[in-house]
Structure 1
Amino acid sequence: MSAARISLKAIAFRTRPVRFRLPFHFGNTVVTETDQGFVSVTVEVDGQIAEGHAAQLMVPRWFDKRASRTNEDTVADLKRSLEFACRSAEDIASETIAAATTRMRHAVEAAMPEGTPRLAAHFGPALVEMALIDAVCRAHGLNFPQAAKADLFGVSTLAAPDISSAAITGALAGITPLPAISPRQTVGFDAPIFSGEADRADDGLPVSLEAIIRATGIRAFKIKLKGEPDADIDRLAHIATLVDQTDNYRVTLDANEQYLPDRFAAFLDRLQGDPRLSRLRNSIAFIEQPFARETALTLEITPALSAFPLIIDESDDHDDAFATAIAYGWSGTSIKSCKGVLRALLNYARKVDGRAHGKRLFISAEDLTCQPGLCWQQDTLVAATLGCRDVERNGHHFGGGLQGYDDLEKARLLAAHPDLYRRNDGRIDLRIEDGTVAIGSLFGPGFGR
């Protein structure tokens, strides 16, 4: 099956506010509220008219961490990116999604203010891309994994310097989606670990990590680092006193660009030698983006820096970033719909092709702020399609409740996805049972709707 050709008939976007029930501290900011963007398209797909919809949270100061930009500035830039992407999408005429996304990115980069990071500039094109994917899937009566396996989106036509079109097609053809995911709970810098350390929330929902584990059975954890070796080691030791009580747990560490190489090497030495961390250390799957995005892809990952596998996240700001990372000794990359679903598919193909040639590569699913609803459903389906079992999911904890959806929309989501959601004292919550969310209802025609 060849890649679908699409022509745009109509496009619209809107935003809805999301207020966090708890503040979240990551990198160099604290987030208490933001907006969620929604895009709707009507397209002609291979002679058929179809609609597509998509959603993404506009996360302050992740896409753009420049000290001169406030939370509000960075969200305004994401809205600007979305507006420019929608304008560029109006020119889509008999294009593949791959071609349309590439053109939109170039147009938005040129239109954004000088100095705007590519991650921020590409937010709008990524969200429009997701709506186009939904429309193509619906026009062909396929779910997302089926369409991805057939490469209806044109991933194999992307001009990747390190992997052939045939290798991309072959990798995508082998996609085997998972029927469930295990949410990986993010533990922020100041997140309370034990219940006695936490103020009780007015909504009665869990606040401390101890209470979250008790309520959900979660056994996968993503721990944020500050970039200060002594403080980070002591924080990990404190967390270990709790999670060591859990059977078969898994840990990832995220430095959010906070470390310089020499300090990171010192951190690794402490991590490997501290007896308090013996079990936690053996449970670490990888460490995420310790170095600044501006320099990470120019650093050789020496043995002193690679005691644990390293992945890029913020450095993954263009389609060939993972290829560069592999050349410098990185082991993996994160996939996030807000960076591009087609980029995730391309990097999945790189992983498959690399493993076939003896390289120990992997991808991970990272997006802590995905809100329950369309945003959560689409991003989680991408992760499950590409075989990522434990997935960073924290939006339900800090926000959640299907914010921004009216009563009719909430009722529709609850009826369509009883495996994902349940009512809890008048609120609709994510259904996490024994550390797992079943996602079978996402495999209907379309993109996770």
Structure 2
Amino acid sequence: MIRIAACRLRLQDLHLRLPFRYGIATVTDLTHAFVETDVELKGKLITGISAEHLSPKWLYKRPDTSPESDNAELIALIETVLEWATGLCAETPFALWQALYEKQVAYAKETGLPTLWTHFPVTLVERAVINALGNATQQSFHALLKSNAFGIELSAIHPELAGTQPAEWLPEAPRPQIILRHTVGMADPLAPPAPSNRGANVADPLPLTLEDNIAAYGLKHFKLKLGGTVEADIARTTEVLAVCAAHAPSDWAFTLDANESYTDFATVRAFWNGLPDTHKARCLFIEQPLHRDQALTDAAGAGLADWDSHPPIIIDESDGALGDFPRALALGYAGTSHKGCKGVFKGIANACLAKKRGALLSGEDLTCVGPVCLEQDLAVMAALGIESIERNGHHYFAGLSMFDTATQDAALASHPELYHRSPAGWPTLTITEGMISFSGG
């Protein structure tokens, strides 16, 4: 039996070192949430923690509301879910998550709010409970997953996986190294000279332009953001690809992320046809080109079917409910993404279904940073066997400089392979030949 005895929320305002433009948002500041749970296991109280950005205009893309009002509403929703969670008990962590998940599904139906939005606070509790179990048993996430200590019932999420365990589908060991797929935001500078106001706005020693990032980190995988306007996206993408071709290693590759900004697949096709043919073979997939209200419709499936020899296309924001991934596969999509903000147990089940179906499961970022969110996210990605994952927190934030010295020192001591001290003294991510190493799986 497992019981959540108490939950706590702590918020910290963070400032980005340069603006991050994606979809309908340009982010310069955001709120980072920490959730602590006191979990009762076999009569003992164990504390677990989770963390995540409250990223503007991603979970809920309302153009008529301000980021500030969205943030306040999401914080209130997190507090509500923490109240639901307090006192909740079940036989397993998975059953505990199920109870909380079903409560938010009912709430989403009652209020008309998107499941992606209402499920996010549930994932914070879920991840904190997972962390508490790891702390109690002193086992890694992969070890707990391999033995199914979480009590995961795959058929409760995807019925076709009935009678199987996660270990039957997932890798025998976690990946020790993962290719870092570098985000190129729509406002990111591409080549030197860097903006002349760098001294005023980016007063740190980390690389700024795409060209400088390639040189500093040996980057070979890239994620390019799109804005939904065909001509502008062709011009920007062509410019970015030219920088990659000129400076990245010979085996470079890229993905495209439209963040729901296109209206139909005919328009996406027009954009794709406008790109240089010399680079198209390097595209791993296109991520979520259509708005979530349209992406899983029969019309979207017909649009995919009408596009011969299209590149692999996956969903991301459309993967809000448990049945969305198999629905996407039925419509002709190639796969989906995993993000901690969409749920760990759901991501595990999706990984097993992807393995069974021969589908794609990508690893994507929500600008996550250490000392909690990044490490937990990497542990899951490594356990799921995802080879290339989008990482962008190291680019849009100045390492762990926003946290106190004790936190910085603890992160360095716990993960010396993941962090090193920057010339400014604070820890920053270690990237070698375009890869990150992680032993916390």
Instruction: Classify 1:252/1:166 alpha carbon distance in 2 versus 1 (closer, same or farther; 3 Å).
Output: same
Could you say which residue in structure 1 is the equivalent of 2:69?
73
1:146 equivalent in alignment to 2:147: no
CA contact 2:170–2:384 (8 Å) conserved in 1: no
Instruction: Classify 1:150/1:172 alpha carbon distance in 2 versus 1 (closer, same or farther; 3 Å).
Output: farther
Could you say which residue in structure 2 is the equivalent of 1:391?
389
SS at match of 1:17: strand
Which one-letter code corresponds to 2:335 in the other structure? G
Correspondence list, 1:69-108, <5 A: 69-108=65-104
Which one-letter code corresponds to 2:407 in the other structure? E
Correspondence list, 1:21-420, <5 A: 21-110=17-106, 114-156=111-153, 159-172=156-169, 174-196=171-193, 198-199=195-196, 200=198, 201-245=202-246, 246=248, 247-261=250-264, 262-271=266-275, 274=276, 277-278=277-278, 280-298=279-297, 299-300=300-301, 301-304=304-307, 307-355=310-358, 361-420=359-418
Structure 1, unaligned runs of 5 or more: 356-360, 444-449
1:346 is displaced (CA, Å) by 0.6
CA contact 1:183–1:437 (8 Å) conserved in 2: yes
Instruction: Classify 1:169/1:426 alpha carbon distance in 2 versus 1 (closer, same or farther; 3 Å).
Output: closer
SS at match of 1:196: coil
Which one-letter code corresponds to 2:242 in the other structure? T
Could you say which residue in structure 2 is the equivalent of 1:20?
16
CA contact 1:168–1:346 (8 Å) conserved in 2: no
CA contact 2:408–2:426 (8 Å) conserved in 1: no
Q: Distance in 2 between matches of 1:138 and 1:30?
A: 37
Q: Distance in 1 between matches of 2:313 and 2:120?
A: 24
Structure 2, unaligned runs of 5 or more: none
Residues 181-230 of structure 1, C-alpha deviation per residue, up to 9 Å, x if partnerless? 22211111121111125343322322110011111111110001122222
**Percent identical residues:** 34
Q: Distance in 1 between matches of 2:328 and 2:87?
A: 34
Residues 245-266 of structure 1, C-alpha deviation per residue, up to 9 Å, x if partnerless? 2221110000111112221122
CA contact 1:149–1:172 (8 Å) conserved in 2: no
Which one-letter code corresponds to 2:239 in the other structure? H
Residues 387-420 of structure 1, C-alpha deviation per residue, up to 9 Å, x if partnerless? 1122111112111432553221211111111111
CA contact 2:171–2:383 (8 Å) conserved in 1: no
Instruction: Classify 1:346/1:305 alpha carbon distance in 2 versus 1 (closer, same or farther; 3 Å).
Output: farther
Q: Distance in 2 between matches of 1:412 and 1:374?
A: 11
1:123 is displaced (CA, Å) by 1.1
Instruction: Classify 1:42/1:305 alpha carbon distance in 2 versus 1 (closer, same or farther; 3 Å).
Output: farther
Question: Normalization by structure 1: what TM-score?
Answer: 0.90
Please report the RMSD computed on the Cα atoms of aligned residues, expressed in angstroms. 2.0
1:173 is displaced (CA, Å) by 5.8
Tell me which stretches of 4 or more aligned residues in structure 1 moved more than 4 Å.
109-113, 172-175
Residues 315-355 of structure 1, C-alpha deviation per residue, up to 9 Å, x if partnerless? 01012210111111111110000110111101001011113
Q: Distance in 2 between matches of 1:198 and 1:158?
A: 53
Q: Distance in 1 between matches of 2:322 and 2:181?
A: 26
1:48 is displaced (CA, Å) by 4.5
Q: Distance in 2 between matches of 1:10 and 1:337?
A: 22
Could you say which residue in structure 2 is the equivalent of 1:446?
none
